Structure 1
Amino acid sequence: MTVPLPPLPPTADDAYRPGGRSMADIADTEHRQLLGLADQVTDQRLSPERRREVAEVLTAAISRHLSAEEQYLLPAARAALPGSAERVDRELAADAA
């Protein structure tokens, strides 16, 4: 499966970078947020009701995160990085499991 990526605007400057946060920064932030939610789910100081609420949020956030990785990040990595197909396939299999 290939995902067509939008073309970058032409530039003579090799230092050009599109504006905004990088995908790596976004993924890192989301991973930290997911770990924080996981810590709350296992925090015995919280009430069972609160831990259940956090678990529901964590479940939804993980589902959204994995879906975004599967639909956007991993296909982009496969298209942009030569020899990445095996690693991408492993990531997809791990996510499916």
Structure 2
Amino acid sequence: MSDFTKLTSVKEIAPGSMKRFTVGDKNIVIANIGGNFHAFEDKCPHLSAKLSTGLLLGNNLTCMSHGARFDIITGKPDSVTDKPLNKLEVKVEGDDVYVKV
């Protein structure tokens, strides 16, 4: 798919939290960082663990499996791995959050 898909409403993901969605065969996480939405695959680039079970503090996400840490905004890692998050493009229209998958 190369189109944007509506996944949720802005009201469904509180600031400082994240939520997992499935689109086809892809598992996607959307995080709300200060009212800005960021999406990425729910798969740690380090060892493929689920990131949706990770710890989100500010814009930093820690994978609970092996402690890999990522900046949600840039996707850059800052520990165990040098592989970045697989970020996805997000757009908000009105109250709806869309992700390009």
What interval of TM-score do these two structures reach, taking the shorter chain for normalisation?
under 0.3
TM-score, normalised relative to structure 2: 0.23
- Select the structure that is richer in strand: 2
**TM-score normalised according to structure 1 size:** 0.24
Structure with more contact order per residue of length (Cα contacts < 8 Å, sep ≥ 6): 1
Higher alpha-carbon Rg: 1
